[in-house]
Amino acid sequence: MLVPWLLMIGGASIYGSFFSASKFASDGGVPFIAFTFWQSAIGGCILLALAAATGNLPRMRRDHLASYAVTSMLGVVMSVIVLAFVASKLQAGVITLAITLTPGITYLFAVMAGVDRWRVLSLSGVALGLAGIAVLVIPEGGLPTGDSVVWVLLLLIVPVCFAANNVFVAVVRPPEATSVMRATGLVVGAAIISFVIMMATEGFYPLWEATGMGLWGVLWAGGINGITFFCMFEIIRRAGPVFFAQYNYVIVIAGLVWSQAIFNEALSTWFWLAFAAMLAGLYFANLGAKRGMQEAAAAG
């Protein structure tokens, strides 16, 4: 289990900095759709080089292509566009909290898809996660400005997309697809889709025109993509989805550490109450997922 642990701690710690990187890109004037394209293109180049070197280039069969398209839209395009859009409107620490809802929403989608059943522990996790959001958006002073409530509600699209992607990956598994193949197909597919969207809306954005730390924010996010999506598929392959669920703990804690170290953000007491509730919700959601895997193993 040494390799999965190293991949989880390293990959999630690196991914935790994605929220700070997107804030740098936004502050540097990079349009949010262009940011989605460029960071996907950079990550895709890294993974294509790895895939070519290891003989794991993505397969071009119809079932594989369909899988790449769906995971690209859910795992990168829709979620990163929202993240990049709200990056200039919310603190990086607040954006990080959105990740804590992913396991609970994944559970709800899994029940609706018929691959899981109702469970008190998991429902408790969902309830605590929603309570954390309520603590953040309802009290006056919980967020920097009144408009922030709107951006937090928009931000909830991100864990919904991540959760839908998790269920899709668990249900639809193209045959003979390695971790490198799936990660490469996902990120390259995201680059292609976001390029089309960029050209149809904003037109081509030259990355080298970004000001300040904008260029470095995009390069940083691209490197994150190349590393963390490989880690995700490889951890699931080696240790299973229950072990991978702990990824969310490290992402949230790492994201807060990165945002504090880089931006020295002043976070209110309401934020820390929301963080405690959502971290407890994450714990119960993961405990429920583990209980479900044990039940499935016993039944099998």
Tens digits of residue pLDDT in 129-147: 778 777 766 665 556 555 6
pLDDT at 196: 95
Highest mean pLDDT among 117-126, 134-143, 148-157, 181-190: 181-190
- Of 47, 40, 102, the residue nearest 73 (C-alpha): 40
- Of 162, 193, 196, 177, the residue nearest 63 (C-alpha): 177
| Token pair listed for 92 | 């990086």
Cα–Cα distance between 279 and 249 in angstroms, integer? 8
In which band, very low, low, confident or very high, does the pLDDT at 209 lie, cut at 50, 70 and 90? confident
Count Cβ atoms within 10 A of the Cβ of residue 184 and give its class: 0-12 exposed, 13-18 middle, 19 or more buried.
Answer: buried
Least confident of 40-44, 136-140, 211-215: 136-140
pLDDT at 235: 79
Residues 6 or more apart from 119 whose CB is under 8 A from it? 107, 288, 291, 292
Least confident of 20-24, 120-124, 136-140: 136-140
Cα–Cα distance between 35 and 23 in angstroms, integer? 11
Domain layout of the chain by residue ranges: 2-299
Share of the chain above pLDDT 70, in %: 87
Cα–Cα distance between 18 and 54 in angstroms, integer? 27
- Of 238, 248, 203, the residue nearest 98 (C-alpha): 248
pLDDT at 42: 93
pTM for the model stands at 0.78
Q: Are 25 and 218 in contact (CB under 8 A)?
A: yes
Continuous H helices in 16-137: 18-27, 32-54, 62-72, 78-86, 92-97, 102-112, 120-137
Residues 6 or more apart from 49 whose CB is under 8 A from it? none
Q: Calculate the average pLDDT of the chain.
A: 81
Cα–Cα distance between 135 and 267 in angstroms, integer? 13
Cα–Cα distance between 3 and 8 in angstroms, integer? 8
Residues 6 or more apart from 272 whose CB is under 8 A from it? none
Q: Are 275 and 37 in contact (CB under 8 A)?
A: no
Least confident of 152-166, 232-246, 271-285: 232-246
Cα–Cα distance between 50 and 91 in angstroms, integer? 34
